[in-house]
A and B are shown apart, each in its own frame.
Chain A
Amino acid sequence: MITLTVNGEARDIAAPARTHLADALREHCGLTGTHLGCEQGVCGACTVLVDGQPMRSCLIYAHEAAGMEVTTIEGLDEDPVAAALRDAFNRHHALQCGYCTPGMMVTARDIVTRLGAVDEDRIRAELAGNLCRCTGYRGIVRAIAEVAATRPALPAPAPRPVVAAPAAPPPVAVAPAAALTNRLEHAETLALAPDAAWAILSDPARAVACLPGARLLHREGEAIAGEIRVALGPLAARFAGEGTLRFDAATRTGELRGRGAEGANAAEGEVIWRVEPDGEGSRLHLDIGWRLTGPLAQFSRPSLVRGVVAGLAADFARNLEGAARGQAPPPAPGLWSLLRRLVRGWFSRRA
C-alpha cells in the first residue's frame, strides 16, 4: 500500500510494483483524464504535474511516487492559467479529438508559467514532446502564444555562445524496394582456405556452434529450427525460430530464411553468406535482411543492430577459424559473449 496526494487529496493505492502512475491514476483513482498513448515517453498524452513539475506518468511507477503530490488535468479546473489556456484552446481550435489535450494543457501551462512571453519557435520546440495527430499544431501554438504574451517575461538568461543553426541530416539515397525493411552487408577476413571454410559453413551443426548464443534444435532436409540469445547491456532476447536452409557448393553460397518469435516480438529475416578466395585465405561476405514487429520494433534502432551484427560476425569468424583447426568453440569468450556472460542473470532473468 502506498500513499500519494492526488489533486490535493491523500490516496491510498494498493497496486503491484509494476503499475505505472498513469494506470494508478486511471484504474485506482478513477481519474481517466490522464490519457495513455505510447507508454514509452514519446507521445506526451500522459503528462501530469508531479510536485509541480510536468512529468510522464507512464515513466514513473506508482511506488516511486509515494509521498509525492500529483496534479492531473482534473486538478487544474480552478487554476487561473489553465482556465486562460482552455479559453484560448477553444477559440483557436487547438483540439479536435481531444486525446492529446490533457497532456498538451499540462505542457502548455508549464511553457506559460516557466518561460512567459516566448516566440513561436520556442513554443514549437517545447511542444516537441507532445504529439497531436489532428490539429497540425497551429491552433495549439497560437493559443499558447496568446496566453504566454500576457505573462511577464523572465529575466534574460545569461549570455551564451552563438548557437549554430540546427543541422539537418543529409538526404539519404532511396534504397531499392525490398520486402525486408532493414538490410546490411558485412565482410570478415578468414585465415582459412575457401574450401576449409566452406566445409564448416555447409555443415549446419558445426556452423551454428561457431555463432555465439546460437543453438541448432532440429534439422530435417532444408527445414531447420534453432534459437539465438542476444544481449546488449540490460537488453536481452532469446529468439526461437524455424526456417529453410539451402546451399550451393559450386558458388560456396548458403542461404537461411526464417522467422522467429520472442514473447510479443516477431522477427523474420534472411542471411546469405558467400566464401571467396582472398590471397592465402578467404573472405566471408554476409548479406543480412530483417524485419521486426512488436515492441522491439517500436524501439528499433537499426544502427545498434549493425553494431551487434558486426560484433557477432567477428566472433563467428574467429570461432570458424578455430573449428577448422579442430578446436571446440572457445572456452575464452570473445567480447560479445563476454558481455553476455557479464549481464546474464544480472540484468535479466531471460538473458
Chain B
Amino acid sequence: MKPVAFEHATAATLDEARALLTTGAKPMAGGQSLGPMLNLRLVRPERLVDIKRVPGLRGFTETETHLTLGAATTHAEIEDGRVPDVTNGLMRHVAGGIAYRAVRNRGTLGGSLAHADPAADWPSVMAALGATILTSGGRRLPADGFLRAPFTTALEPGEIITAVEIPRQPPGARWGYCKINRKIGEFAKAIGIATPTRLLAGAVEGPPTLLDRVEDIPARLPWLDPAAQRLAAIAVTRAQAMRDS
C-alpha cells in the first residue's frame, strides 16, 4: 500500500528541524519502523522532516567514563564495530540481532529510541546500561523511564534525540542478552538483559523494567498476562545464565 500524500522536508540544521516540526509534522531518521507504518497508512503525517543529515547527529565522542553516540548512528555501524564499543561487546551483539542487515544499514539508534516500540532492542538495552538520552531541547533524560508507554516517550512535541551517552562498562564486566522471537528479525516477544549489577525485562508491552530478581516479574509487570510473564522470566533467566556462564 502507498502512504498518504505528505510534504517532504530535509532539515539541514537543528534550528531548521525545530522550525519544520510544527503540528502535523513527524521527524524521520532511518525510517525503518516508521516506513512500514506510513506505507500501511497507520501514520498519516502532513509533513515528514528528514533529520538524519543534521550535523551533530552522527559521529561519536569518547571519554574515560562515557561514549556519546550520535543519534543517527546506524545499527550496522554498531554491529560492525565502526564506532567504539564501551560495553564489552553487548551493543555489537544486540545490533547484529536487530531485524535484517538491509534494515540495520539504515535504521538508527536514536530513531529506534524515539519510535519507542516496546519490542525494540535499544530502549531495553539503554535502560539496562543506565544510558542518558540527549535532546535538541538541551535536556538529559535517563534512558530508564524514557519509554513511558508503547510508542510514547518523554520527548516534548518537536523535540528530537541528538545523542546517547553510554557509561563505559568496567573491563571484563560480563553481560547476558536473550531475545525471544518466532523468527530471526521478527518483533521480540520478550527480552532479558543481565549486566553485572542489573536485570531487565523488556519487550513487555510497556516500559522496559529493571528488576532485582527474576521472581519480581509478576509484581513488577502486573499488566502482562501470565503466559507473557513466563516468557519474560525465561528471557531474564537465560540472560542471567549467559552472564554467569
Question: CB distance B46 to A349 under 8 Å?
Answer: yes
Q: B171 on the interface (CB 8 Å rule)?
A: no
Question: CB distance B5 to A347 under 8 Å?
Answer: no
Question: CB distance A339 to B5 under 8 Å?
Answer: no
Question: CB distance B106 to A56 under 8 Å?
Answer: yes
Query: Which residues from A are CB-within-8-Å of B37?
Result: 234-235, 299
A210-218, A246-254, A301-309: which lies at the B interface? A301-309
Question: CB distance A303 to B228 under 8 Å?
Answer: yes
A224 to B107, CA, bound (A): 45
Q: How far is the CB of B16 from chain A (nearest CB, A)?
A: 16
Nearest-neighbor residue (CB-CB) of B180 within chain A: A167
Question: CB distance A347 to B234 under 8 Å?
Answer: no
> CB-CB contacts of A111-127 with B at 8 A, as 1s and 0s?
00000000000000110
Q: B35 on the interface (CB 8 Å rule)?
A: yes
B8 is contacted by which of A63, A233, A345 (Cβ under 8 Å)? Answer: A63
Query: Which residues from B are CB-within-8-Å of A157?
Result: 81
Query: Which residues from A are CB-within-8-Å of B93?
Result: 160, 163
* Chain B, range 196-245, C-beta contacts under 8 Å to A: 205-206, 223, 225, 227-228, 230-231, 234-235, 238-239, 241-243, 245
* Chain A, range 13-54, C-beta contacts under 8 Å to B: 16-18, 20, 23, 39-42, 44, 47, 50, 53-54
Q: Known contacts A64-B50, A163-B93; decide if A307 and B223 are in contact (CB<8 Å).
A: yes
A296 to B182, CA, bound (A): 20
Query: Which residues from B are CB-within-8-Å of A343?
Result: 152
> CB-CB contacts of B161-176 with A at 8 A, as 1s and 0s?
0000000000000111
Question: CB distance B101 to A129 under 8 Å?
Answer: yes
Question: CB distance A44 to B41 under 8 Å?
Answer: no
Q: A263 on the interface (CB 8 Å rule)?
A: yes
A311 to B180, CA, bound (A): 25
Query: Which residues from A are CB-within-8-Å of B175?
Result: 161
Nearest-neighbor residue (CB-CB) of A173 within chain B: B227
Query: Which residues from B are CB-within-8-Å of A58?
Result: 35, 39
Query: Which residues from B are CB-within-8-Å of A298?
Result: 40
Q: How far is the CB of B196 from chain A (nearest CB, A)?
A: 12
Interface size on B, residues (CB 8 A): 77
A23 to B2, CA, bound (A): 10
Q: B89 on the interface (CB 8 Å rule)?
A: yes
Question: CB distance B231 to A170 under 8 Å?
Answer: yes
Question: CB distance A161 to B89 under 8 Å?
Answer: yes
Q: Known contacts A161-B174, A170-B231, A264-B1; decide if A235 and B42 are in contact (CB<8 Å).
A: yes
Question: CB distance A40 to B36 under 8 Å?
Answer: yes
Question: CB distance A304 to B103 under 8 Å?
Answer: no
* Chain A, range 321-351, C-beta contacts under 8 Å to B: 335, 339, 342-343, 345-350
Q: A290 on the interface (CB 8 Å rule)?
A: no
Question: CB distance A347 to B43 under 8 Å?
Answer: yes
> CB-CB contacts of A190-234 with B at 8 A, as 1s and 0s?
000000000000000000000000000000000000000000111
B59-67, B125-133, B184-192: which lies at the A interface? B184-192
Question: CB distance B231 to A299 under 8 Å?
Answer: no
Query: Which residues from B are CB-within-8-Å of A164?
Result: 176, 178, 238-239, 241-242, 245
* Chain B, range 23-52, C-beta contacts under 8 Å to A: 23-24, 26, 31-32, 34-46, 48, 50
Query: Which residues from B are CB-within-8-Å of A310?
Result: 223
A117 to B81, CA, bound (A): 20
Query: Which residues from A are CB-within-8-Å of B227?
Result: 172
Q: How far is the CB of B121 from chain A (nearest CB, A)?
A: 15
Query: Which residues from B are CB-within-8-Å of A236?
Result: 42-44
Q: B12 on the interface (CB 8 Å rule)?
A: no
B205 is contacted by which of A47, A126, A295, A303 (Cβ under 8 Å)? Answer: A303
Q: A153 on the interface (CB 8 Å rule)?
A: no
Question: CB distance A234 to B46 under 8 Å?
Answer: no
Q: B56 on the interface (CB 8 Å rule)?
A: no
* Chain A, range 95-121, C-beta contacts under 8 Å to B: 107, 110
Q: B14 on the interface (CB 8 Å rule)?
A: no
Most buried by B among A23, A39, A59: A59
* Chain B, range 50-94, C-beta contacts under 8 Å to A: 50, 76, 81, 88-89, 92-93
24 pairs from A and B in contact (CB 8 Å cutoff): A18-B38, A20-B35, A41-B99, A47-B102, A58-B39, A59-B31, A107-B101, A126-B101, A158-B81, A169-B182, A172-B227, A232-B151, A233-B150, A234-B151, A235-B37, A235-B43, A263-B41, A295-B41, A296-B42, A299-B37, A306-B225, A307-B149, A347-B43, A348-B43
18 further A-B pairs in the complex, CB-CB below 8 A; given A40-B40, A233-B116: A17-B8, A39-B2, A39-B39, A41-B103, A55-B102, A59-B103, A60-B35, A60-B106, A128-B185, A161-B174, A161-B245, A170-B234, A235-B42, A298-B40, A299-B36, A303-B189, A310-B223, A342-B152
Nearest 3 pairs of A and B residues by beta carbon: A233-B151, A129-B100, A17-B8
Write the residues of chain A forming the contact surface with B, with a CB cutoff of 8 angstroms.
Answer: 16-18, 20, 23, 39-42, 44, 47, 50, 53-56, 58-61, 63-64, 107, 110, 125-126, 128-130, 157-164, 167-170, 172, 232-237, 263-264, 295-296, 298-299, 301, 303-304, 306-307, 310-311, 335, 339, 342-343, 345-350
